[in-house]
Amino acid sequence: MNLRVAQRLLMAATLVASSFALAQGYPDKPIKLIVPYPPGASTDVTARLIGQKVSALLGQPVIVDNKGGASGNIGTEFVAKQPADGYTFMLGTDATHAANSYLVAKATFNPLKDFTPLGLAAMNPIVLVVHPSVPAHNLKEYVEGVRSGKIASAFGSSGTGSPHQLAGELLKSRTKAPLLHVPYRGGGPAVTDVLGGQIPAIFSSVISVLPYIQAGKLRALAVTDGKRYAGLPNVPTIGETYDGFDVPSWLAFFGPAKLPEAIAQRLSGAISTALQDPEIKAKLDSNGLVVPSDPSPKALAELQQRDYTLKGKIIREAGVQIE
């Protein structure tokens, strides 16, 4: 028994030493940062902003590579299959790393097991907005209006399975209001239709509708996060009306599974340092994103696990169709 214990200790020590030695020379070549969405999206802007700072901190180029398609699944699957050497990581979202695996007939990766959490990049607040003609100035009035038929039941989102749809589905479940989801091909068309009055309400990322709220062209009723959004301090959370309601949307960095601890720490440390930069904070804020108070891998892993469970429950109970 003593020999067996000694062998295990020696093996563990060897692995630690090997990992440390690997990290000592890391990085010695450019690093790829995969964005599983097209250029121009908030994920792309965030990845390029933080990637530039991480590059300066690690002393190697961080090359952003957009691999969009299949609601983010193509780029995410690509990262899951890369070597765990620290030279490929990604900026994922609550869609790629929580909801999407429930929305395909056969998932090609496990968001909890096939990745190493590196750090939470930002929260992406979602807000329920209505056209000014809608006779509701708060969430209660909106829900009661839908129940009574005074307000049309349709609400738009950026697409099937999006966090915007799931927020609406949870509100429907919690209030028993007969809300009807209308999916759009992206947030832009949904915003266009609510501005034109073709649809009374949408759930949208704050950045897409903030200028219209400020100009009085749309009315904000509530945000879906557990905390109020600082850019709209007078807009309550849904949880203030319906206790416990919290549907977060987030952006976060992940590497492939089994990334050596020393390398994971170097990457996560660089990401955390980048997020403390006042200029980066200001730029993320201007894009409607909120820098988290705790961007650590542990905090990310806990958020991902909670959100994976929550989104799965909403999808199953709402009967969201798989692709």
The full 3-state SS of the chain, as one line of letters, equals CHHHHHHHHHHHHHHHHHHHHHHHCCCCCCEEEEECCCCCCHHHHHHHHHHHHHHHHHCCCEEEEECCCHHHHHHHHHHHCCCCCCCEEEEEECHHHHHHHHCCCCCCCCCCCCEEEEEEEEECCEEEEECCCCCCCCHHHHHHHHHHCCCCCEEEECCCCCHHHHHHHHHHHHHCCCCEEEECCCHHHHHHHHHCCCCCEEEEEHHHHHHHHHCCCCEEEEECCCCCCCCCCCCCEHHHCCCCCCCCCEEEEEEECCCCHHHHHHHHHHHHHHHCCHHHHHHHHHCCCECCCCCCHHHHHHHHHHHHHHHHHHHHHHCCCCC
Q: How many domains in the chain?
A: 2
pLDDT at 40: 85
pLDDT at 17: 46
Closest to 214 (Cα-Cα) out of 140, 127, 151: 127
pLDDT in tens, 91-100: 999 999 999 9
Domain match, 201 and 236 both: yes
- Residues of the chain predicted below pLDDT 70: 1-23, 322-323
The last residue of a domain, from among 240, 257, 273: 240
Q: Is 199 a domain residue?
A: yes
Given a contact cutoff of 8 angstroms between Cβ atoms, the answer to whether 253 and 292 are in contact is no
Mean pLDDT of the chain: 93
The last residue of a domain, from among 198, 223, 240: 240
What's the CATH code of the domain at 111?
A: 3.40.190.150
Domain match, 210 and 289 both: no
Closest to 41 (Cα-Cα) out of 312, 320, 288: 288
Domain match, 289 and 179 both: no
pLDDT at 321: 79
Residue holding tokens 């850019």? Answer: 231
Domain match, 157 and 188 both: yes
pLDDT in tens, 109-134: 999 999 999 999 999 999 999 999 99
Task: State the residue range of the domain holding 206.
Answer: 126-240
**Whole-structure pTM value:** 0.89
Q: Is 323 a domain residue?
A: no
Domain match, 51 and 98 both: yes
Q: Is 27 a domain residue?
A: yes
What's the CATH code of the domain at 232?
A: 3.40.190.10
The last residue of a domain, from among 240, 264, 293: 240
Q: Is 131 a domain residue?
A: yes
Terminal alpha carbon distance of the chain: 53
pLDDT in tens, 222-268: 999 999 999 999 999 999 999 999 999 999 999 999 999 999 999 99
Domain match, 119 and 255 both: yes
pLDDT at 59: 98
